[in-house]
Amino acid sequence: MDKEKNSKIEKMEKDIKLLKKKKPRKLTKIKFVGVVFDPEKYKAGEAEINDALSEGFEVIRDFETGGGIVMTLGKWEKKARR
């Protein structure tokens, strides 16, 4: 039992160290991109998502719709420490 507790504590300590190293970020832009599941139309949404990713946007979440998905993309900047 002690081994298990120690293992959990060690994992928590590692997680805390990682969180301390993580740089504070601020969400500066948000973008919603729809991708229609249609053989002739999905390429436009795919291209828009790829362009946004190459501009530094990151996927935050995706939502399923009746005919496709909507991707939520966000752009983050470093937040100045106070």
Structure tokens that stand for 62 in this block = 């995706």
1 or 45: which leads in pLDDT: 45
pLDDT at 1: 58
Average pLDDT over residues 50-76: 95
**Could you read off the pLDDT of 4-58 as tens digits, one per residue?**
778 888 888 888 888 777 778 889 999 999 999 999 899 999 999 999 999 999 9
Secondary structure E strands in the chain: 25-36, 58-64, 68-78
Question: Among all chains, which residue has been given the structure tokens 């190293």?
Answer: 21
Q: What is the DSSP secondary structure assignment for residue 73, as one 8-state letter?
A: E
Q: What is the DSSP secondary structure assignment for residue 58, as one 8-state letter?
A: E
The C-alpha angle with vertex 22 and arms to 21 and 23, in degrees rounded to 5, equals 110
The residues spanned by each domain of the chain are: 24-82
pLDDT at 72: 97
Helix (H, G, I), strand (E, B) or coil at 35: strand
The model carries a pTM of 0.67
